[in-house]
Structure 1
Amino acid sequence: MEQSERWRHASSFGAAAVSYAEHRPDYAQAAVRWVLEGAPGVRVLDLGAGTGKLTAVLAVLGAEVAAVEPDLAMLGELRRSLPGVRALPGSAEAIPLSDASVDVVLVGNAMHWFDMAVAGPEIARVLAPGGVLAGLWNLMDDEVEWVAGLARVGGGAAVGPRDTPAAWRAATAGMHLPKTEAAPRFGSPEQAEFPHGQRRTADSLVQTLATRAGVLVMPEEEREALLGRIRAFLAGTPETARGEFTLPMRTGVLRVRRL
């Protein structure tokens, strides 16, 4: 994706901030614990925090959280739902925190939007030595037959390809800074996946998929046609046609340590 197109997608979420806050899933607590267990302390930055889906999990787990988000509409939803959290405007490329001020930087479903050539050194700057950087991605579990069918109907814009460790590595290539004496650097990546799930109805799942960037940037007629196909699929699928169901998911994690 070209830089201008990436920016168009990354900046699309603010217009859907209320729906994003209501319908997007949180993250598997086991995944977040896995990141935190090797950290030197509990000072955590949720970078690209959006409406606070990951921030809320961190707060429940007792972390000392600061949330940074560039979109003011998304940041407003985070502040509304989590008034006790320190929430700041800022970006991965210009983090409004002091040097070595956090033990962990966590990024939920957002690192692929960063300019890691700039964000990598910024993240290293705010991380204390031995601190952990981790990207988390919520993935629909397309090993489940009906989810695979939904992926075929919805395509990449709504459901997305199933991310692989190789794709995460490509998105986070800037984790590896030049290995010079003058530049802090990161160690080798570790990766894991954790089972997760979200209670949904057919309507709320459609609303969830409608908050994906690929759908938000579509022309209205194309977007409505896509969502109509998804509604029809869910209405005709036994697992999703009546009442609530669990959307099977996995939270994938890639973590590295600042050396």
Structure 2
Amino acid sequence: MSIREKVGWGIGGLLIVVYCLFPIAWIVSLSFKSSADISNGSFLPTVATNENYETILTGDAAELFLPALRNSFGICLIATALACLLAMFAAYAIARLDFRGKKLILSTALAVAIFPVISIVTPLFNLWREIGLYDTWLGLILPYLSLTLPISIWTLSAFFREIPWEMEQAAQVDGATPWQAFRKVIVPLAAPGVFTTAIIAFFLAWNDFVYGISLTSTSASRPVPAALGLFTGASQFESPTGPIAAAAVIVTIPVVVLVLIFQRRIVAGLTNGAVKG
């Protein structure tokens, strides 16, 4: 490329980075502003303060935020583990076995993934209250599988197709059973794809708001996104912008840390499952 093209691409990339990071920087700035400094119109706080973080960690909002943070970690980790485990078997069958209905299964998974969540919340609300799953961890884990399982099946089925069939056949020739070949040969080779799928599934469950606000009513199982919607100000005339921004920063930290630590595995899993070779 010429110097002019390089400069153009560099400026374009810089604009995209600024566009993507500006909302995050704005939230971080809000989290360090006092309530009187929120609406002054400036980007940076006049005087940086930790009062918003103290409010959600040790103050009035701690009883609402900290249990919700615990619930989100527990529920999302369990839902992610179940989704990856079930998706591994389903994706292996779709990629390796020849049977009728494979395309129907993938089409159904895609349809479930794009189905609007809000349309099934009301039936789930009534059903969960009848069978005793309302406001429980299990009552959120099961709906979260509808978010995480379809994308997990699609991602892993694409990845399993790239694993050479001859390696599994060689293991069976050496005396391994189909289960042993799957467990000792296929699963280790599919580890990058499984890891990528787990990260994506965890993000989907972690960011859910509709299920969390509709299927819970107490801090026993309410996740963080739903808890943020229940924050209140010091009075009815004051908006809790600062505490919400501080909570949003804390909730975002685990996601950013996971991506920074495991970004190579994530990229490897996505590219290996997407490139035919």
Q: TM-score, normalised by structure 2?
A: 0.23
By percentage of residues, which structure has more helix?
A: 2
| The structure with more radius of gyration | 2
Q: TM-score, normalised by structure 1?
A: 0.24
The answer to which structure, 1 or 2, has the higher relative contact order (CA under 8 A, 6+ apart) is: 2
